[in-house]
């Protein structure tokens, strides 16, 4: 066992979850008990919605910590620690730019109370598919009038145009939002400086631990900051080369239960 590890952070898609969106629950629960005995907190750090992330861990929701929405929503065992909401002017500017590319940019607007699709802007099929990632998802008539605190935009663009739109968002919305992508047509637009590593830093400060006592696992571009922040950063074997370059170690792929394999070694 490695006694000085006090925080383990895992991304979900492509990292903790297998491709079929399952994980080895009994094995995880045994590891969770060992981590608890070692005084280590388990943190789910994802771009996904808090309500969806909780649902992956039935029975453990209030003993885990969540850095959701790429760092914009942070909880510590059921207690809300931090929320980073976008100013109305920022939301308006992003909506206006995306409407200029309405045929290619399909958005999910992510807020405190839930996520939203704009009626008429996307298809019913898209809405249904997004419910896999947003367990609280509803229709609104206008993104500028949800009445919710907005945490981020989850933009979906054609795969082959990911780089084009990443560069467009970075150029046209500079200073307002920061684009981050895990590839495959998914681009999150988040508040600058608000990312998974900033969420982990808030928890580490709250618990009085150092980055050297933290371990992180990830597979995408939005995991790079936390892989660099933590004393040990693991890239999944299925991660692209630039993510592996940001990590200290590489573990087996998500479909080989790489996170659990590595945790079994760290908490033997």
Q: Mention every residue, 6+ apart, whose C-beta is less than 8 A from residue 257.
A: 18, 23, 24, 27
Cβ atoms of 219 and 243 closer than 8 Å: yes
Choice among 11, 188, 219, 223 that is catalytic: 11
Q: How many CB atoms lie within 10 A of CB 159?
A: 10
* Whole-angstrom distance, CA of residue 110 vs CA of residue 9: 22
* Whole-angstrom distance, CA of residue 192 vs CA of residue 61: 28
Helix (H) or strand (E) run with residue 18 in it: none
Q: Which tokens sit at 237?
A: 């074997």
Q: Mention every residue, 6+ apart, whose C-beta is less than 8 A from residue 167.
A: none
248 among known catalytic residues: no
Phi/psi at 248 (5° precision)? -90, -30
Cβ atoms of 202 and 73 closer than 8 Å: no
Catalytic residues: 11
């Amino acid at each position: 066992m490695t006694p000085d590890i006090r925080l383990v952070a895992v991304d979900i898609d492509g990292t903790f979850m297998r491709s079929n969106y399952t994980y080895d629950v009994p094995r995880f629960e045994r590891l969770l008990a060992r981590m608890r005995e070692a005084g280590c907190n388990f943190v789910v750090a994802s771009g996904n919605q808090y309500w969806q992330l909780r649902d992956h861990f039935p029975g453990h929701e209030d003993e885990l910590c969540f850095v959701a929405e790429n760092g914009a929503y942070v909880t510590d065992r059921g207690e809300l620690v931090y929320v980073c909401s976008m100013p109305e002017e920022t939301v308006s500017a992003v909506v206006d730019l995306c409407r200029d590319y309405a045929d290619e940019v399909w958005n999910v607007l992510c807020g405190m109370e839930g996520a939203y699709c704009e009626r008429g802007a996307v298809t019913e099929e898209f809405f249904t598919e997004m419910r896999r990632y947003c367990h609280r998802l509803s229709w609104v008539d206008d993104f500028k009038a949800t009445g919710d605190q907005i945490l981020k935009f989850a933009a979906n663009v054609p795969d082959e145009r990911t780089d084009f739109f990443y560069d467009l968002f970075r150029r046209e919305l500079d200073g307002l939002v920061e684009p981050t992508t895990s590839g495959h047509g998914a681009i999150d637009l988040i508040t600058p400086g608000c990312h998974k590593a900033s969420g982990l830093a808030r928890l580490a400060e709250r618990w009085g631990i150092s980055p050297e006592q933290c371990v992180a696992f990830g597979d995408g571009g939005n995991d790079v900051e936390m892989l660099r922040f933590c004393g040990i950063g693991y890239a999944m074997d299925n991660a692209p080369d630039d993510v592996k370059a940001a990590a200290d170690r590489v573990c087996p792929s998500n479909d080989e239960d790489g996170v659990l394999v590595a945790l079994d070694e760290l908490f033997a």
